[in-house]
Amino acid sequence: SSDVIHDSCEKAAKGDPNIKFDFCVSSFEGNPKAKTATGVADLVKVAIETAMANATSIGSIISKLLDNKTLDPYERNCLEDCSELYSGAGSSIQSGGKAFEGKDYGTANAEISSAMDAPDTCEEQFKEKKGFVSPLTKENNNFFQLLAIVLSFMNLVPK
């Protein structure tokens, strides 16, 4: 199973400049379901679950940031938008996961791809106004990379 993770991550990293091999491996090596994966299709399911959990976690981080009463109104607005974006991304990932289970790979790909807009759009909003730095840069980058891994793994599944 470690071979399945390593081989899949190696192919993903070679095929997509957004995917770092070490990030990919570390995202799955600690996951018991990934350790029992017998093929890349099993890893896709784990990757979708991981991305879903990550979207939920980022939503919680945003909620905590929004608890700060001294937030600048612009920053608050950005965070509220990011919260909506991640909520939508979670729905897209769920739909993509269901489509993948049903072997509707085109829909799965489209849904996961649409979820990739969330981290980019969230990050860009903060850059639109000078002097603002996104407090979610690391989370946005990791989430984007997780989704890139999902897409890459889906493309490795024998059709």
Q: Dump pLDDT digits (tens) for 120-146.
A: 999 999 988 887 889 999 999 999 999
- Report the CATH number at residue 86: 1.20.140.40
81-117 residues labelled b (16+ CB within 10 A) or e (exposed): bbbebbebbbebbebbbebbeeeeeeebbebbebbbe
Q: 116 is in which domain, residue-wise?
A: 1-156
Q: Give residue-wise pLDDT tens across range 22-61.
A: 999 999 998 999 989 999 999 999 999 999 999 999 999 9
pLDDT at 34: 92
> Are 140 and 123 contacting, i.e. CB atoms less than 8 angstroms apart?
yes
Q: Count the domains in the chain.
A: 1
Q: How far is CA 18 from CA 61, 63, 64, 144, 147, in A?
A: 24, 28, 28, 8, 10
Q: pTM (2 decimals)? A: 0.94
Q: Does the pLDDT at position 2 exceed 70?
A: no
Q: Give residue-wise pLDDT tens across range 95-111.
A: 999 999 999 999 999 99
